[in-house]
Amino acid sequence: MRVLYLGDIVGRSGRDAVAEHLPGLRRDLRIDFLVVNGENAAGGFGITEKICGQMFELGVDCVVTGNHVWDQSETVSHIANEPRLLRPANFPPGTPGRGAGIFTTTGGKRAMVIQVMGRVFMDPLDDPFASVQAELNKVRLGSTVDFILIDIHAEATSEKAAMGHFADGRASLVAGTHSHIPTADAQILPKGTAYQTDVGMCGDYNSVIGMDPVEPLTRFTRKLSKGRFTPADGPATVCGVFVETDDRTGLARTIEPVRIGGRLKPNIPAL
pLDDT, one tens digit per residue, over 13-29 is 999 999 999 999 999 99
Q: Looking at 21, 68, 78, 178, which residue is catalytic? A: 68
Three-state secondary-structure class, residue 120: coil
Average pLDDT, the chain: 97
The ranges assigned to domains in the chain are 2-260
Q: How far apart are CA 223 and CA 139, in angstroms?
A: 49
Q: What would the pLDDT profile of 111-127 be if each residue is shown by its tens digit? A: 999 999 999 999 999 99
Q: pLDDT for 164-213, tens place per residue?
A: 999 999 999 999 999 999 999 999 999 999 999 999 999 999 999 999 99
What pTM did the predictor assign? 0.96
How far is CA 63 from each of CA 83, 161, 187, 234, rounded to the nearest angstrom? 9, 23, 24, 24
Which pLDDT score is estimated for 208?
97
- pLDDT for 44 beyond 90: yes
Q: Does 21 qualify as catalytic in the annotation?
A: no
Q: Is 47 left (phi over 0), alpha (psi -120 to 50) or beta?
A: beta
Does 2.40.50.140 match the CATH number of domain 2-260? no
- Roughly how many angstroms between the first and final C-alpha of the chain, as a whole number? 13
DSSP state of 246: -
